[in-house]
């Protein structure tokens, strides 16, 4: 498999985690990697039909670009090549309806009946991979997990609805599908439905067009547990909000459990009617926050074990410190490591290989100050750092963990790596034989601080000025 093609399966897996199973099957399962061009800045994707290309560009352009960007970071242009001449569409995907807005504008396609997109009442749409067995409970999500589990024995009576909010990639979808799986085990006769709000919108539009609204209402009002994901996407869709309002009321009145997720708290939702917002707050509102370092390491270790990816403690720390935004990005790094292991037939990667992979994963390059390397030496840099921090060379090269000294030490390592272009092992030897992973950690920490902390940026600039006048 060519090097430029090796990550394509990971692109598809990334998309699969973000869209419904039916959407993936209908629009992405037959996409193919064709080639890259323009020095890696363009990627060409094979699509089965022009219609398939048009639909992806209209509806899933963002998801496709995000997935490609993770594994082909140099790509700035996506092109398509139609690989089949037959422009027909398979009709075995029940959930997704083609639309351009909440109005009645649609793209022409064969005329399905309502049954072709409303799944059978015996189908829950739950993804079997989302269970509590592989959901890592940490400080950032333990309250949400506890609240969800508390309703298993008596759904609809304790907290109803449950409204879970948090940023992208923190496990909201996994959590509500896990509670759906658990509820199905406990109450096998329950009519359980997991659905995204976007799919609800699409189904409502087609039901309205086909004059099947009575069937649509009956379908959702017969649900025992409604799990609706990303409710923010019904914003400004007045007709959809109207029908969802009445569906919510019917289910709530009948003590049917409702669990909703969103990327923000109810009161901060824009374009959602006040009467819906007030109902979202009736039961229990809980948030899932970004995991701290300890939590990210726990999640990473668990997922690595389940994926069969060997990580040593230093590598686990290195990845968790480099990726602090969301869990999906941690999974993305593990997928890349697994792909490299499969290609190289190695049992594990070296620390250097993991560090290199992380540098490619991060969208921003290290911030450089462009010193004239020919006039600089490690000793001059060390002198400048010591002068700024008012400490001795022995302090910087020693083992003290005092905050001020540790920061000076990491800044010195950063200068050696990114301005003098010394290797991590070489720098480690200069600091009394420290392991190169310690140097990687120090350099990564300074790069991170340079993006967020003006005090660190000012210190770097001051050291530069000192070096220019020493």
What does the pLDDT look like over 8-35, one tens digit per residue?
Answer: 888 898 898 888 887 888 889 889 998 8
Both 355 and 394 in one domain: the answer is no
Both 164 and 260 in one domain: the answer is yes
What integer pLDDT is reported at residue 121 of this predicted model? 54
Q: Name the pLDDT band for 109 (thresholds 50, 70, 90).
A: very low
Q: Please check whether residue 111 lies inside any domain of the structure.
A: no
What integer pLDDT is reported at residue 262 of this predicted model? 94
Q: Please check whether residue 96 lies inside any domain of the structure.
A: no
pLDDT of residue 470 exceeding 80? no
Q: Name the pLDDT band for 245 (thresholds 50, 70, 90).
A: very high
Range with lowest mean pLDDT among 83-87, 98-102, 198-202, 265-269: 98-102
What integer pLDDT is reported at residue 277 of this predicted model? 94
CA distance 239 to 256: 23
Per-residue pLDDT averaged across 103-126, rounded? 49
Across all residues in the chain, what is the average pLDDT?
82
Q: Is the separation of the CB atoms in 168 and 290 below 8 Å?
A: no
Q: Please check whether residue 368 lies inside any domain of the structure.
A: no
Q: Name the pLDDT band for 210 (thresholds 50, 70, 90).
A: confident
Q: At what angle do helices 142-150 and 172-186 cross, to 10 degrees?
A: 20
Both 38 and 151 in one domain: the answer is no
CA distance 4 to 134: 32
Tokens of 95: 């959930």
What integer pLDDT is reported at residue 25 of this predicted model? 82
Per-residue pLDDT averaged across 354-362, rounded? 69
Both 171 and 280 in one domain: the answer is yes
Domain encompassing residue 343: 293-361
What integer pLDDT is reported at residue 58 of this predicted model? 79
What integer pLDDT is reported at residue 4 of this predicted model? 67
Both 279 and 301 in one domain: the answer is no
Contacts of 159 (CB under 8 A, 6+ apart): 147, 150, 151, 283, 284
Among the ranges 52-61, 105-114, 271-280, 439-448, which has the highest mean pLDDT value? 271-280
Q: Please check whether residue 155 lies inside any domain of the structure.
A: yes
Both 184 and 275 in one domain: the answer is yes
Q: Please check whether residue 380 lies inside any domain of the structure.
A: yes
CA distance 259 to 150: 13
Range with lowest mean pLDDT among 4-18, 71-85, 127-141: 71-85
CA distance 402 to 114: 68
What integer pLDDT is reported at residue 359 of this predicted model? 66
pLDDT of residue 373 exceeding 70? no
pLDDT of residue 424 exceeding 50? yes
Per-residue pLDDT averaged across 123-132, rounded? 81
Query: Is the bond preceding residue 161 a cis peptide, omega within 30 degrees?
Result: yes
Return the higher-pLDDT residue of 381 and 74. 381
Both 198 and 282 in one domain: the answer is yes
Both 141 and 280 in one domain: the answer is yes
Q: Per-residue b/e over 11-46, b at no fewer than 16 CB within 10 Å?
A: bbbbbbbbbbebbbbbbbeebebbebeeeeebbebb
Per-residue pLDDT averaged across 374-393, rounded? 87
Tokens of 204: 């409502």
User: Which of 245, 268, 287 lies at the terminal end of a domain, its last residue?
Assistant: 287
Residue 360: what are its φ and ψ, rounded to 5°?
-75, -30
What integer pLDDT is reported at residue 362 of this predicted model? 53
CA distance 320 to 299: 9
pLDDT of residue 51 exceeding 80? no
pLDDT of residue 182 exceeding 50? yes
Per-residue pLDDT averaged across 142-166, rounded? 92
Q: Please check whether residue 90 lies inside any domain of the structure.
A: no
User: Which of 242, 272, 287 lies at the terminal end of a domain, its last residue?
Assistant: 287
pLDDT of residue 120 exceeding 70? no
Residue 80: what are its φ and ψ, rounded to 5°?
-125, 150
User: Which of 262, 287, 312 lies at the terminal end of a domain, its last residue?
Assistant: 287
pLDDT of residue 224 exceeding 90? yes
Both 148 and 264 in one domain: the answer is yes
Q: For 263-301, how does the pLDDT look when each residue is reduced to its tens digit (9 = 90+)? A: 899 999 989 999 999 999 999 999 998 888 888 888 888
Both 50 and 11 in one domain: the answer is yes
Query: 79 in helix, strand or coil?
Result: strand
Q: What CATH number has the domain bearing residue 427?
A: 1.10.1750.10
Give the position of tokens 């001051």. Answer: 462
Number of domains in the chain: 4
Both 145 and 23 in one domain: the answer is no
Q: Please check whether residue 98 lies inside any domain of the structure.
A: no
Please compute Rg for the chain using Cα positions: 26
Both 258 and 130 in one domain: the answer is yes
Q: Please check whether residue 419 lies inside any domain of the structure.
A: yes
């Amino acid at each position: 498999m060519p090097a430029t093609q090796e990550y394509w399966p990971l692109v598809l897996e990334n998309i699969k985690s973000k869209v419904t199973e039916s959407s993936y099957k209908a629009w992405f399962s037959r996409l193919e990697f064709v080639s890259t061009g323009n020095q890696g800045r363009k990627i060409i994707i094979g699509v089965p039909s022009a219609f398939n290309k048009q639909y992806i560009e209209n509806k899933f352009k963002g998801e496709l670009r995000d997935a490609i960007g993770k594994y082909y970071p140099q790509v700035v242009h996506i092109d398509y090549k139609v690989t089949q001449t037959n422009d027909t569409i398979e009709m075995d995907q029940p959930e997704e309806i083609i639309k351009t807005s909440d109005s009645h504008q649609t793209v022409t396609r064969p005329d399905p009946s309502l049954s072709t997109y409303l799944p059978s009442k015996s189908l829950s749409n739950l993804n079997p991979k989302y269970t509590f067995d592989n959901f890592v409970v940490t400080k950032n999500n333990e309250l949400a997990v506890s609240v969800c589990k508390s309703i298993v024995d008596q759904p609809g009576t304790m907290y109803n609805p449950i409204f879970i909010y948090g940023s992208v990639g923190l496990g909201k979808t996994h959590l509500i599908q896990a509670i759906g799986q658990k509820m199905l085990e406990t109450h096998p006769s329950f009519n359980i439905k997991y659905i995204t709000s976007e799919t609800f919108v699409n189904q409502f539009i087609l039901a309205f067009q086909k004059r099947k609204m009575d069937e649509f209402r009956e379908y959702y009002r017969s649900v025992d547990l409604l799990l609706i994901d990303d409710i923010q996407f019904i914003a400004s869709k007045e007709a959809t909000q109207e029908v969802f309002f009445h569906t919510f009321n019917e289910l709530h009145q009948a003590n049917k459990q409702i669990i909703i997720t969103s990327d923000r708290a109810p009161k901060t939702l824009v374009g959602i009617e006040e009467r819906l917002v007030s109902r979202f707050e009736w039961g229990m509102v809980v948030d899932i926050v970004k995991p701290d370092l300890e939590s990210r390491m726990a999640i990473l270790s668990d997922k690595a074990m389940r994926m069969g990816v060997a990580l040593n403690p230093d590598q686990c720390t290195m990845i968790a410190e480099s990726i602090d935004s969301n869990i999906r990005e941690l999974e993305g790094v593990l997928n890349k490591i697994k792909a490299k292991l499969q290609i190289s037939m190695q049992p594990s990667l070296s620390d250097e290989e993991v560090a290199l992979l992380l540098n490619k994963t991060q969208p921003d390059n290290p911030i450089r100050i462009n010193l004239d390397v020919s006039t600089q030496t490690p000793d001059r840099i060390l002198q400048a750092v010591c002068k700024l921090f008012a400490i001795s060379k022995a302090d910087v090269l020693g083992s003290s963990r005092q905050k001020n000294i540790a920061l000076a030490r990491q800044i010195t390592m950063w200068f050696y790596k990114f301005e003098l272009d010394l290797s991590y092992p070489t720098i480690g030897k200069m600091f009394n034989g420290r392991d190169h992973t310690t140097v990687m950690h120090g350099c990564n920490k300074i790069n991170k601080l340079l993006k967020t902390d003006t005090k660190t940026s000012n210190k770097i600039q001051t050291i530069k000025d000192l070096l220019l006048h020493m």
